[in-house]
Structure 1
Amino acid sequence: MTGTTPPTALPEWLLRGQQLRTAAAAHDFGTVFRVARRQAGISYSQIAIACDIKPDRVGTLARGQGKVTSFEKIVQICDALRIPGHLVGLADRPWEPVPTGGGAEVDEVLRRRFVQVAGLTATMPTALAASSGRIGQRDVARLRERTVRLRRLDDVLGGGDTYRLYTAEYQATKAKLRDARYDEATRRALLALLAEQAQQAGWAAFDGGRETDAVSLYEASRAAALEAEDAALAGNSLAFLAYQRLGGDRRAGAEIASQSTRTIDASTPASVRALLHERRAWACAVASMPTEAERSLAAADEALADVHGQPQPDWAAWVDRTELDIMTGRCWAELRRPLRAVPVLEAALNRYDDSHARDKSLYSSWLAHAYLTAGEAEQAAAVVSRALALADGVASVRPRQRLAPVIDDLSAVRYRTLPAVSEMLAQVPG
C-alpha cells in the first residue's frame, strides 16, 4: 500500500479472512469493528477517531445495533481501516497498489477496474444518441432499465445522497425530448419516462429536505404524465403532491389524495391501485378522517390481492403486504389508536430488514408514538433508541424530524427519571 499507513490499517492476513470479507461485502461494519478489536487489537477508540464516529456509536454498531448507510462514511471507514474498495463494492482506493508484474493478480485488478468503469458509466447521465440524432422505443426501454437500476439506490441511501443523480437523469431525458428526433410513440414513451424520473427526483428532494424542489418536480411530473396520457403516473404525481400538502392544509392534502384515486380505471395495475389507496389512507388519517382512512386501507388490501401473476410497473412494485401493514399501523398511530397500531407495527417492523435503515427508523417513530400514547414511556424510549441508531449516518432529514416530537414528549419531567428514557436522552445528539 502506498502513502502513510494509519495505525488502524487492518493486517493483510485479517483482510483475507472470510468473516471480515463477508461482513465488508454486506456493509456490516459493526462486525468489521468487532473483528478488528478482537483479532488485530485495534481499539474502538482508535476506530472512532480514525473514522470520525462517536465512540459510543462504534460500540453500538459492534453490538449489532444499527447500520452505516452513508456513502461518504463507508468511504471514510474503508480508508481508515485500509479495506480494499472491491471488498465493499467501491472502486479501488487511491492508496491501493497497482501490480506491476503479471499473472492472475494483474488480471483480477484489471477485471475489477473494467467493472468499476462500467459501473460508473451506468450511474452517470449518458446520451444513447447525439442530441440531434434519432432515437426509438428500444432506446427508451434501455433508459427505463437504467432508471430501474438507479431506483434501487433509494433502498439504502437517503435523498441527500441521491438527489443530484436522480435530477441529472431527469434533465438528461428532458434534453432528449428537446433535441432528439423520434416518432409519436417514442415521444409519449419519453414523456412517461420523464414523469417517472421527475417523481424519483422529487422524492429524493423531499427526503433530503428540499421541499420547494420536490413540489416543482412533482408538478413537472404530472404535466409530463398528462401529456403522455399515462393515468397511473398522473395519479401518483397527485399522491406525491398530497404528501407535500399534509404539512400545512391537511384537508386539502386529503382532497388531492382523493383526486389521485379517481384516476384509477380498469387498466390501472393492481400495485398502483394499492399505492394510491394507501397514500390516500395516510392523508385521511393525518386529516383526522378515520372512516375514510379505514376504507382506503381496505381498498389497498383488496388491490394487493390482485397483484400476483400480473406485470406491475417497477415504480410501484415495492408496495407489498409488509408495506401495507406498516401504513396501517402508521394510520392508527396518527389517529391515536395505539391498541390497533402497536401489534401491526411491531410485527411488520420485525420483518423489515435493518439494511433499509432510513425507512425502518422512520416507521419506528410511529411505533414509539403509539407506545407513548398508550402511556408506555419505557417501550417508547427503547424504540426511539433503536431508531436513532438506525438513522445515524443516513442522508435523510425525515427520521429525525419524525422522532423529534416523541423525544420532546419523553423529555418531560415525569419521564426523565425512568432509566430507559434517561439512556435514550443521552443518545440524542447535542
Structure 2
Amino acid sequence: MLGGGETYDLYLAEYEATSAIVQNSSYDEATGRALLSVLAEQAQQAGWAAFDAGNHTEASRLYKESHERAVAAGDAPLAGNALAYLAYQSGRDDRRAAVGLAVRSCQVAGTDAPSAVRALLFERLAWAYAIIGDVRETERALTTAETAVAEDSEEPQPDWAAWVDHNEISIMTGRCWAELRRPLRAVPVLERVLDNFDEVRARDKSLYLTWLADAYLAADEVEQAASVAGRVLDLSAGVASVRPRQRIKPVLRHLDPHRAIPRVRETLDQAKALGLG
C-alpha cells in the first residue's frame, strides 16, 4: 500500500534502534542470536524501501549488512534472502552477477529451509535467469518454486516469507515470460492474477501491470498495451515508489509511433500531464 519513499525513514529508524540495543546491552548468547536475526530482517526492510525509493547505494549497503548479521546469527534462510535481494538489485547493472548471487542465495538457505523461503528464493532465481534470456533454467527454477509453495507443511514459516503464495508465484511466472518475450504465456497468467488483485495495493499492482503492458507490446497488441499503461499511470499516481514509472517509460516510448490510434493518444496525453511525456 505504501512505497519505499514513505516507509524508508521508519524502517531505517527501527534498524538503527535495534543496532543500538545490540551494541550497548548485555544478553546471553541465545538472545544475541535472536537480536541479530531481527536486525538482519530490519536491514532488509530498510534496504527494500531504499531500493523502491531509488536509493540504490543505500539499499546495497543495507542488504550487505543484513547478510553479515544473518550469518553472525546463524540464520541461513535470512542470509540467503539478503543475497536474493542483492541479486535482484544487481540485475539492473550486471545480469550475470545477479544470477551468481541468486544461485548462492538458494545454496546458503539450504534444502532444509522452510517451504515459503525456498519458494521465494527460487522464484527470484527464475527472475535472474529470465533477465539473461535462459528459458530452460527459468522454467526449472519456477517449477521448484511452485513445488515448494504447494507443500503441505505444518512447519512454521518466518514472517518475512509468509506472504509468498500461489498468486505470488504466478505473478513472477508471468513476469518471467514477459521478460523472455513469450507473450502467449505471459498474458493469460498475468491477466488472471491481476484481475483479482486488490487496487488498494496500488504500488504492487501498478508495478506488475507494467509487465502485462510489455507482453501486449511483444504480441503487437498496441491498444491493449496502451490501456494497461493507462491503468499503471492511474494506480501509480501519488505512490512513493520510483519503480512503476521507471518501468512504464519504455512502454510509452514504444507506443509513441502509434499515436494516431485514439487509445494510444489518450494514454500518451495522460502521461504527459503527469510529467512523463
Cα distance in 2 for residues equivalent to 1:347 and 1:196: 32
Question: For residue 285 of structure 1, what is the amino acid of its counterpart?
Answer: A
Question: For residue 264 of structure 2, what is the amino acid of its counterpart?
Answer: V
The correspondence of residues 239-388 of structure 1 with structure 2, limited to 5 A, is 239-306=84-151, 308-388=153-233
Q: Does residue 1:427 correspond to 2:270, yes or no? A: yes
Native 8 Å contact 2:79 2:109 kept in 1: no
Cα distance in 2 for residues equivalent to 1:378 and 1:302: 36
Native 8 Å contact 2:167 2:193 kept in 1: yes
Native 8 Å contact 1:170 1:194 kept in 2: yes
Cα distance in 1 for residues equivalent to 2:34 and 2:111: 21
Q: CA deviation at 1:377?
A: 0.3
Native 8 Å contact 2:77 2:110 kept in 1: no
Cα distance in 1 for residues equivalent to 2:104 and 2:91: 15
Native 8 Å contact 2:80 2:108 kept in 1: yes
Question: For residue 167 of structure 1, what is the amino acid of its counterpart?
Answer: L
In the superposition, relative to structure 1, how do residues 216 and 312 fare at CA in structure 2: closer, same or farther (>3 Å)?
same
- 2:47 aligned partner: 202
**Larger RCO: Structure 1 or Structure 2 (Cα < 8 Å, ≥ 6 residues apart)?**
2
Question: For residue 291 of structure 1, what is the amino acid of its counterpart?
Answer: R
In the superposition, relative to structure 1, how do residues 292 and 348 fare at CA in structure 2: closer, same or farther (>3 Å)?
same
- 1:417 aligned partner: 260
Cα distance in 2 for residues equivalent to 1:356 and 1:282: 22
Native 8 Å contact 1:271 1:307 kept in 2: no
**Residue 182 of structure 1, aligned match among 18, 22, 27:** 27
Cα distance in 2 for residues equivalent to 1:305 and 1:348: 17
Q: Over alpha carbons, which structure has the higher Rg?
A: 1
Q: CA deviation at 1:311?
A: 1.2
**SS of 1:263's equivalent?**
helix
CA deviations over 1:145-177 (Å, ceiling 9, x no partner): xxxxxxxxxxx1100000000000000000000
Q: CA deviation at 1:310?
A: 3.0
Cα distance in 2 for residues equivalent to 1:394 and 1:245: 24
- Percent identity of paired positions between Structure 1 and Structure 2: 58
Q: Does residue 1:395 correspond to 2:234, yes or no? A: no
**SS of 2:151's equivalent?**
coil
Cα distance in 1 for residues equivalent to 2:32 and 2:152: 29
**Residue 230 of structure 1, aligned match among 75, 78, 89:** 75
Cα distance in 1 for residues equivalent to 2:107 and 2:132: 19
- 1:164 aligned partner: 9
In the superposition, relative to structure 1, how do residues 377 and 390 fare at CA in structure 2: closer, same or farther (>3 Å)?
same
Question: For residue 209 of structure 1, what is the amino acid of its counterpart?
Answer: G
**TM, length-normalised to structure 1:** 0.63
Runs of 4+ with >2 A deviation: 264-267, 307-310
Greater helix share, 1 or 2?
Answer: 2
Q: CA deviation at 1:267?
A: 3.0
Q: CA deviation at 1:248?
A: 1.0
Q: CA deviation at 1:308?
A: 4.8
Backbone CA RMSD of aligned residues: 0.9
Unaligned ranges ≥5, structure 2 = none
Cα distance in 1 for residues equivalent to 2:199 and 2:10: 24
Q: CA deviation at 1:265?
A: 2.9
- 1:12 aligned partner: none
**SS of 2:108's equivalent?**
coil
Cα distance in 1 for residues equivalent to 2:157 and 2:255: 43
Native 8 Å contact 2:81 2:109 kept in 1: no
CA deviations over 1:41-92 (Å, ceiling 9, x no partner): xxxxxxxxxxxxxxxxxxxxxxxxxxxxxxxxxxxxxxxxxxxxxxxxxxxx
Unaligned ranges ≥5, structure 1 = 1-155
Native 8 Å contact 1:270 1:307 kept in 2: no
Cα distance in 1 for residues equivalent to 2:18 and 2:152: 30
Native 8 Å contact 1:322 1:351 kept in 2: no
**TM, length-normalised to structure 2:** 0.97
Native 8 Å contact 1:349 1:364 kept in 2: yes
